[in-house]
Amino acid sequence: MASLANAQQSPRKSAQEDRTKPPVLPVVDEGACPFEGCTFGEWTVTRDTPLYSSWKKDRVEIGRLRKGEKVAGLTGVHITEKPDTIRVLRDIPELSLKRGDTFYRYMYRGEGFADIWVHGEWKKETDCSFVTEKDAGGCLRDCSAQVVEDGVKEWWVKVRTKSGEVGWTKADGNFDGMDSLG
């Protein structure tokens, strides 16, 4: 009963305060293949790469993948430790965003699409082609928003070697054959 009394005494946050609070980090997207044309299947290792027991922090190295080795890409996990912070330069009515507003980009999906957090809710696979990056990639003119702070993200992939060993490693340009369009 004491916990109920304490809960009743604590002040409620206003709707505005609740709306602006982003998701608890890290945000983990299981089964992730985060770009246009991304596909799991046969990949070629592009450089010697450590293989781990898990993508989680308590992982241990269990082997090494060698440059030129063929592996089967099985699945992926995209981890957002910190999302990109994006400032609105011009009103974006379809997202109810006004000049000066801020929103957050989590997983990029490719071709300008991303999972974003806007006004206290997820907008999955949203067209964000109106965003220019800090390095001037993405939108090149008439941009409505700009990345003002890059986030911290990792994409880990689970692979199986020809000998049957299964483990996890960061994608980080370590494989060819991931892009069905390239």
- Where are the domain boundaries for CATH 2.30.30.40 in the chain? 25-80+155-182
Cα 21 to the center of its chain, rounded Å: 18
66 pLDDT more than 50? yes
4 pLDDT more than 70? no
Looking at CATH, the fold of the domain delimited by 25-80+155-182 is given as: SH3 type barrels. (2.30.30)
Section 70-97 average pLDDT: 97
The pLDDT value recorded for residue 8 is 37
Tell me the average pLDDT of the chain.
Answer: 88
Can you tell me whether residue 46 is helix, strand or coil?
A: coil
pLDDT band at 111 (very low <50, low <70, confident <90, very high): confident
Beta bridge partners of 168: 52, 158
> Could you read off the pLDDT of 47-63 as tens digits, one per residue?
999 999 999 999 999 99
User: Does the domain spanning 84-150 belong to CATH 2.40.50?
Assistant: no
What's the rounded Cα separation, in Å, for the pair 166 and 63?
10
Q: In the chain, pLDDT over 70 holds for what percent of residues?
A: 88
83 pLDDT more than 80? yes
Q: 112 burial class (0-12, 13-18, 19+ CB within 10 angstroms)?
A: middle
The pLDDT value recorded for residue 136 is 64
Section 148-173 average pLDDT: 96
